Amino acid sequence: MLPCRTASRQLYNVGSAALPLRYPRCAIRFPRAHSRFFASQNSIPAFSYVQPQAGPDTIFALSTAPGKAGVAVIRISGKNAEEVSTGTPIAVLKMTHMKKLPAPRQAVLKKIYHPSSKELLDKGIVLWFPGPQSYTGEDTAEFHIHGGNAVTRSVLDALGSITQYRIADRGEFSRRAFDNDKLDLTELEGLADLLNAETEMQRKLALRQAEGSLRQQYDGWREQLIKCMALTEAVIDFGEDENIEDGVLNDVLVIVERLRESIKAHLNDNRIGEILRDGIHITISGPPNAGKSSFLNTLARREAAIVSDIPGTTRDVVEVSLNLGGYPVVLSDTAGLRESSDLIEMEGVKRAMAKISTSDMHICLLPLPEIESFERLHGHKILNESITPDTILIINKSDASNTISSKETIERLTKTLGVRHTWLISCKTGEGIDQALESLIDFATSSSALITQARHRFNLSACLAALDMVADYATSDIVLAAEELRQAASAIGRITGKVDVEQVLDMLFSEFCIGK
């Protein structure tokens, strides 16, 4: 099987001209569907197969933040060297005066010298990670040195003096890890998010993704699709052959149906992953004087918005960025919703409505003392327009009215407005605030793998659309069904960065023993 694989890799690089290479090597009859397969490889997006970087260069960079620090880590990565006299081993040996490389992954304390002038630069820890058991998959070394500016510069200069050593480009270590199949695109995105995470929840989400939570899920789906592709191709080419079992197509449809359900459920997640990554946008709206600005200030724990008993105090949108229980939140206070002849106030109302429509979560705040009149008037026009079943109704000023006698009114209003959640609070006494906060946070809790990027959602939707077509074509035109399966697999492959025809062939060979 190995020569086959090698030939196939060459195919990727040189295109269809190299096709005949694999036939004599594999000594198999090559069916017509496979030529269709190869022909379609031209449509694979550029990043689906990443050409390894040309040249034998070894890269190095300061991996810790620049500036004064206790320790600075300099990382070096180069192609796996056959001999210790090339690539990464050179720096390790020449700069520490060691006769042989240290044991892999074991810290050794060494003096560090300039490789040509032999000048002593620092004393630090040296770590050696022979490829492929390293972050990049290449031979890698780390120097943990003193974190002073002059020390780090001297060691970086010394590394730069070694032939074919160069400073790494931005993200080049990770790029090499991707090229060497150590990480897929979702893990790389998770890693980037982890470095940018500002709240506890963002950290957890990014770490889960960097650890491969999405990769496992998507790779599993892709594997299933590849199996379906192999089965369908076999039916196309050997349909009449007695080796093909009955009901193969049915098996494909069962798998496709299962995948459709799983992908649909994954897509139907209220965008929680993206929201957590980018921050939850919550808008507070309601009639004038309901206590919207007071609620914003209570959550922000500062006087971010002006509070007064004059209705119509807030005229514009006031935004505050918060960390609510580890979740990044952008909270917007808005102008009170009411009809007015004041042009400025109406502009504020317009802005409030626009904010509500673009936010991830909408809170409608009503004052308890006026709740009866709201019910009698059936709210009012603008207020009603802003409320959807996803709106969270918060009744404020519980201290200013009898909550027991209002209980029934609140229940009726909740029903009339058709909202699912209603909470009772008092910004004045703090009653119900903690529960409201907790419920707000509950909205964003989930332990499953979450979609974190619009790119994933786009490709998953494309995959789902292609799977819908598979079900449609399966009985009428199996060749088109096979093409839709290929589209579905490439859509998933575009998320992880893998689109590889080789796996389909492997699966086909193993399941049907072609050429036996």
Ligand X SMILES: Nc1nc2c(ncn2[C@@H]2O[C@H](COP(=O)(O)OP(=O)(O)OP(=O)(O)O)[C@@H](O)[C@H]2O)c(=O)[nH]1
Residues that bind ligand X (CB under 6 A): 286, 288-294, 307-309, 311-314, 336, 396-397, 399-400, 426-428
Of 290 and 368, which CB lies nearer to Mg ion in the complex structure? 290
For Mg ion, which stretch binds (CB under 5 A), given 45-53, 79-87, 105-113, 309-317?
309-317
Distances (CA, A) of 324 to 87, 280, 445, 468: 49, 10, 12, 40
Determine the Cα–Cα distance for residues 23 and 236; give it in Å rounded to an integer: 19
> Contacts for 102-111 with beta carbons within 8 Å, 24 or more apart?
102/126, 102/127, 102/128, 103/128, 104/128, 104/129, 104/130, 104/133, 105/129, 105/133, 107/144
Give min distance, CB of 193 to ligand X, in A.
35
Q: Which of ligand X, Mg ion, none has residue 397 at its interface (CB below 5 to 8 Å by kind)?
A: ligand X
Q: Which residue is nearest to ligand X (CB)?
A: 336
Of 386 and 453, which CB lies nearer to ligand X in the complex structure? 386
Q: How wide is the angle at C-alpha 168 spanned by C-alphas 164 and 172, nearest 5°?
A: 120
What's CA 143's distance to the chain center, in Å?
31
Residue 487's CB: how many other CB atoms inside 10 A? 19
Of 62 and 368, which CB lies nearer to ligand X in the complex structure? 368
Of 273 and 286, which CB lies nearer to ligand X in the complex structure? 286
> Could you tell me the end-to-end alpha-carbon distance of the chain, in angstroms, rounded to an integer?
13
Of 131 and 286, which CB lies nearer to ligand X in the complex structure? 286
Residue 115's CB: how many other CB atoms inside 10 A? 19
Give min distance, CB of 292 to Mg ion, in A.
5
Residue 132, preceding peptide bond in cis (omega within 30° of 0): yes
Give min distance, CB of 395 to Mg ion, in A.
17
Q: Which of ligand X, Mg ion, none has residue 428 at its interface (CB below 5 to 8 Å by kind)?
A: ligand X
One-letter identity of residue 50: V
Q: Which of Mg ion, ligand X, none has residue 288 at its interface (CB below 5 to 8 Å by kind)?
A: ligand X
Q: Which of ligand X, Mg ion, none has residue 396 at its interface (CB below 5 to 8 Å by kind)?
A: ligand X
- Candidate residues 8, 134, 224, 314; the one interacting with Mg ion per rule CB under 5 A: 314
One-letter identity of residue 334: T
Of 223 and 316, which CB lies nearer to ligand X in the complex structure? 316
Q: Which of Mg ion, ligand X, none has residue 493 at its interface (CB below 5 to 8 Å by kind)?
A: none
Tell me if residue 140 falls in helix, strand or coil: strand
Residue (of 48, 30, 36) closest to 508 by Cα position: 30
Query: Which letter does DSSP use for residue 302 in this model?
Result: S
422 DSSP β-pair partners: 393
Interactions with Mg ion, residue window 279-298 (CB under 5 A): 292-293
Of 58 and 386, which CB lies nearer to ligand X in the complex structure? 386
Cβ neighbours for 410, distance < 8 A, ≥ 6 positions apart: 371, 395, 422, 424
Are 64 and 72 in contact, with CB atoms under 8 Å apart? yes
Residue 198's CB: how many other CB atoms inside 10 A? 11
For Mg ion, which stretch binds (CB under 5 A), given 90-98, 166-174, 306-314, 375-383?
306-314
Q: Which of ligand X, Mg ion, none has residue 503 at its interface (CB below 5 to 8 Å by kind)?
A: none
Give min distance, CB of 351 to ligand X, in A.
13
What's CA 267's distance to the chain center, in Å?
13
Tell me, by CB under 5 A, how many residues bind Mg ion.
4
Of 227 and 292, which CB lies nearer to ligand X in the complex structure? 292
Are 12 and 46 in contact, with CB atoms under 8 Å apart? no
Give min distance, CB of 401 to ligand X, in A.
9
Two tokens, residue 184: 């897929």
Give min distance, CB of 192 to Mg ion, in A.
38
Q: Which of Mg ion, ligand X, none has residue 190 at its interface (CB below 5 to 8 Å by kind)?
A: none
Of 244 and 400, which CB lies nearer to ligand X in the complex structure? 400
Of 93 and 366, which CB lies nearer to ligand X in the complex structure? 366
Give min distance, CB of 292 to ligand X, in A.
4
Q: What is the 3-state secondary structure (H, E, C) of 212-252?
A: CHHHHHHHHHHHHHHHHHHHHHHHHHHCCCCCCCCCHHHHH
Determine the Cα–Cα distance for residues 260 and 265; give it in Å rounded to an integer: 9
Q: Which of ligand X, Mg ion, none has residue 312 at its interface (CB below 5 to 8 Å by kind)?
A: ligand X
Give min distance, CB of 368 to Mg ion, in A.
17
Q: Which of ligand X, Mg ion, none has residue 470 at its interface (CB below 5 to 8 Å by kind)?
A: none
Q: Which of Mg ion, ligand X, none has residue 102 at its interface (CB below 5 to 8 Å by kind)?
A: none
Query: Which letter does DSSP use for residue 327 in this model?
Result: E
Give min distance, CB of 436 to ligand X, in A.
12
Give min distance, CB of 305 to ligand X, in A.
7
Give min distance, CB of 291 to ligand X, in A.
3
Q: Which of Mg ion, ligand X, none has residue 490 at its interface (CB below 5 to 8 Å by kind)?
A: none
**Footprint on this chain of Mg ion (rule: CB under 5 A):** 292-293, 313-314
